[in-house]
Amino acid sequence: MSINSDDHSITRRLAASLFAAAITLSTAAASFAADTVVLRVGDQKGGNRSLLEISGYAKDLPYKIEWSEFPAAAPILEALNAGALDVGYTGDLSFLSVYAAGAPIKAIGGTRSDAKTQAILVRQDSPINSAADLKGKRLAGTRGGWGQFLIDATLEKAQIKLEDATFAPLGPVDAKIALVAGSIDAWAIWEPYVSFATLKDRARVIADGEGLTPTITFIVASDNAIATKRAAVQDLVQRLNKARLWSLDHISEYARSTAELTKLPEDVLLSAYTAQRTSPIVIDETVVKEIQAASDRSTRYGILPKTLDVSKAVDRSFTAAAAGSN
C-alpha cells in the first residue's frame, strides 16, 4: 500500500524514538579510535554512500569507512560471507538465501519501500494484459530474490501452477535486453528499473507486489563486525536512517544529485523515489513475523532450501530502542 500522511507520521515517530535512544555522536566519538576503527562497507552506484554524502550525514565520522562498489547485491553478500566486508545491504530474500547457506551474517536494520514498486513488466506490444495471461510464458527474474519470489507469488495468486510457466534466471541488465529483444515474455523487477522501462522503453506493468512481498531492504553486518566494531556499526545505521528520512523530504534534490552521480535520467529517479517512499524500519516482532511468512513461502516455492527461523537471522539490538517504544 502507498504511504499516506499517517504512515509517514508513524515512520517519523519510530525514527525519532530510535534516534533519541541511540548513542549520540559525541558518545560514539569517544568509543572509537579514528585511526584504528575501519568499517569496510559494500555499496552500489547511487546507493548508501551517495545518500550519506548528498544528505550531509557523511561528515565528521568518528571512524573511517572503506567503500567498495559492486554491480549488484549478490556480490556484496558474497563478500560479507567471505569476511571481506563488515556491512552491506540487500533485499530481504536475497539475504535469507545466503544466510540459509550458513553465512555468518545478520540483518541489523533496513528500509521498506512500497510493494507496488516491485512489478512484472511486458513489452508495450505484448498480448499479455494480466497475471492470468502468464501461463505457458517465459518469465525472467533474479534467482533466490525478489524477482523469482514475485513471479511465483503472482502465479500462485492467479491459480497458475509454477511448472506451467518457465522461469529464466536473469539479472536486471540481461533481463532488460531480453525483454526488449522479445526472448522473454515478462520481467519481474524493482525500481528504478521499473520507472526506466516504463518511461523510456514503454514497457507495461501487468502485476505488482502489493499484498505479496514485504519489499524490505536489509542493512546486513557480519557477525565479526557486530562483535568487534559495534559502536561504529551502530553509528552507521543511525546515519543511514537519518539520511533516509532526509531523502523523503528532499526527493527532487535527491533525484537530481543521484542522476548527476549515476548518469541515470533524473525523471526516472524522481519517478522511482516518489513511488518507493523508502523509509527506515525497526526490526521488531512485526517485521520478523512478516519476513518469516515470506521465508516460509520461499521454502514452499523451492527458492530457499530449508525452513528458516528468521528471529535467529536478525539482530534487533541496533533498532531495539524504537521497538520498545511501540
Least confident of 176-185, 263-272, 314-323: 314-323
The residue among 26, 102, 108 whose CA lies nearest residue 282 is 108
For residue 46, give the DSSP letter. T
For residues 99-106, average pLDDT: 96
Q: What local confidence, expressed as pLDDT, does residue 296 receive? A: 97
Its pTM stands at: 0.85
Element housing 43 (H / E): strand 38-43
Residue tagged 529517479 (cell numbers): 269
Higher pLDDT residue, 319 or 321? 319
Same fold for the domain at 5-114+215-323 and the one at 117-208? yes
Listed in order, strand segments (DSSP E) in 70-223 are 87-91, 105-112, 118-122, 138-141, 166-169, 186-190, 204-208, 216-222
Residue 56 has pLDDT above 60, yes or no: yes
**Element holding 68 (H helix, E strand):** strand 64-69
Residues 31-60, mean pLDDT to the nearest whole number: 86
Angle at CA of residue 257, ends 256 and 258, nearest 5°: 95
Q: How big is the CA angle at 39 (ends 36 and 40), to the nearest 5 degrees?
A: 125
Helices and strands (H, E) in the chain, number of each type = 14, 11
pLDDT for 15 beyond 80: no
Instruction: Average the pLDDT over each of 24-33, 69-78, 258-267 and give the range with the smallest value.
Output: 24-33
Query: Are 87 and 236 in contact, with CB atoms under 8 Å apart?
Result: yes
CATH architecture of 117-208: 3-Layer(aba) Sandwich (3.40)
Please state the rounded mean pLDDT for residues 216-228. 97
Q: How far apart are the first and last CA of the chain?
A: 21
Question: Domain residues of the chain, as ranges?
Answer: 5-114+215-323, 117-208
CATH number of 5-114+215-323: 3.40.190.10
pLDDT of res. 36: 79
- Flag whether pLDDT at 197 surpasses 60: yes
Task: Say which range, 24-33, 246-255, 266-275, 306-315, has the weakest mean pLDDT.
Answer: 24-33
Helix axes 285-301, 146-157, angle to 10 degrees: 80
pLDDT bucket at 35, cuts 50 / 70 / 90:
low
In the predicted structure, residue 226 carries a pLDDT above the cut 50: yes
* pLDDT greater than 50 at residue 273: yes
The pLDDT tens digits for 83-102 are 999 999 999 999 999 999 99
pLDDT at 153 over 70: yes
In whole angstroms, give the CA distance from residue 304 to residue 311.
16
pLDDT level of residue 14 (50, 70, 90 thresholds): low
- Count of CB atoms within 10 A of residue 80's CB? 27
Task: For residue 200, give the C-alpha cell.
Answer: 523510456
pLDDT of residue 321: 60
Share of the chain above pLDDT 70, in %: 87
User: How much is the average pLDDT of 174-184?
Assistant: 96
Q: CB of 193 within 8 A of CB of 173?
A: no
The confidence band for 200, taking pLDDT boundaries of 50, 70 and 90, is very high
pLDDT of residue 30: 46
Instruction: Please say if the pLDDT value at position 162 is more than 80.
Output: yes
